[in-house]
Structure 1
Amino acid sequence: MVEGGDWDRLEDAEALAQRAAAAATNVAGREAEAFEASVMLTDDAHIRELNKAWRGKDKATNVLSFPAPAPPGGHAGPRNLGDIALAYETLVREAEDESKAFAHHYAHLIVHGVLHLLGYDHETEAEAELMEGLEVKALSTLGIADPYRDMAA
């Protein structure tokens, strides 16, 4: 769903999101077909509102994840993991600042969001190392370089 931002710049955003989400679920040891998630492509103003309402942070961010509650037993069909929201202007700015292709940064944040929906986090150093390792592995299956490589230097 597109709620704001110039997302037409990204060719076939839905297909790339599907591939990135599948890569994330696969590296997490899950079957991609067993899960689904909604992705909202929005702008900084809208994500700032969401960030303030849900996290108490009055600023734009690149990605937000909203996990869905686990369904009661016996649920048939793919499980809805929840929702991911991405902010166009923030993604553009970050990609430019980090000299990354916009599509690669977008795919990275889809992977990041899906891993959050699967229960991964980066609150501690150990959690961050695990999550970043999964992100790098998922992105490599998409032909995307390690987004953390240059940040470590």
Structure 2
Amino acid sequence: MPIQLDFENVSDSQAPSEAQCHLWLSTALEGRKANATVAIRIVNNLESQQLNNDYRGKDKPTNVLSFPFDAPVGVPEEAFDYMLGDLVVCAPVVIAEAKQQGKAVNDHWCHMLVHGTLHLLGYDHIKDDEANTMEQLERDILAKLNISDPYLETNED
């Protein structure tokens, strides 16, 4: 099974197409995971804020939330090895961040999907060494897509 994308856009803001998201997801997973299913849901501020509050205790919308898949109790994880998880991306936040940071909106969308996908794979940026590793992976993946280093202008997440 190749890379599968379950895509849903419930936002009324500008958002990438399912085909764009599939390309970005596939590029992020290239050489890391040959078979995977990822759900991407593009939302507005209200849903993002609710999820961010429920799962992270932060009562504000955020750019991307990653929910790695957990196998049901009693079922071996290997049975669901292809299930990577869910990404929830807040369109208004991504658009506002791109404008604020002087980046092309499409490039920032790609960065957020790559960033979220790496979280699904277990990468994190809490500790400096982990952040350096994750940021370099993001740079490498984005370079394959002809997108410049997103960390040159800002160090924000």
Specify the TM-score bucket, using the shorter chain as the normaliser.
0.7 to 0.9
Structure scoring higher RCO (CA < 8 A, sep ≥ 6) equals 1
Query: What is residue 69 of structure 1 aligned with on the other side?
Result: 70
Does the alignment pair 1:4 with 2:28? no
Find the residue that maps to 1:138 and give its secondary structure: helix
Q: Tell me, which stretches of 5 or more residues in structure 1 are unaligned?
A: none
Does the alignment pair 1:100 with 2:107? no
Find the residue that maps to 1:150 and give its secondary structure: coil
Q: Tell me, which stretches of 5 or more residues in structure 2 are unaligned?
A: 1-7
Q: Give the length in aligned residue pairs.
A: 145
Question: 1:55-106 CA distances to partner (integer Å, 9 max, x unpaired)?
Answer: 1111111000001015626537x71111000111111110001111111111
Contact 1:5–1:87 under 8 Å retained in 2:
no
Contact 1:51–1:57 under 8 Å retained in 2:
yes
Instruction: Provide the rounded CA distance (Å) in 1 between the counterparts of 2:77 and 2:131.
Output: 31
Matches within 5 A, 1:7-46: 9-10=14-15, 13-26=17-30, 29-31=31-33, 33-46=34-47
| Structure 1 residue ranges, 4+ long, deviating more than 4 angstroms after superposition | none
Find the residue that maps to 1:81 and give its secondary structure: strand
Instruction: Provide the rounded CA distance (Å) in 1 between the counterparts of 2:129 and 2:78.
Output: 34
Query: What is residue 118 of structure 1 aligned with on the other side?
Result: 121
TM-score for both structures, normalised by structure 1: 0.87
Higher helix share: 1
Instruction: Provide the rounded CA distance (Å) in 2 between the counterparts of 1:91 and 1:112.
Output: 12
Instruction: Provide the rounded CA distance (Å) in 1 between the counterparts of 2:9 and 2:136.
Output: 30
Instruction: Provide the rounded CA distance (Å) in 1 between the counterparts of 2:124 and 2:20.
Output: 23
Cα RMSD between the aligned structures?
1.8
Instruction: Provide the rounded CA distance (Å) in 2 between the counterparts of 1:127 and 1:74.
Output: 26
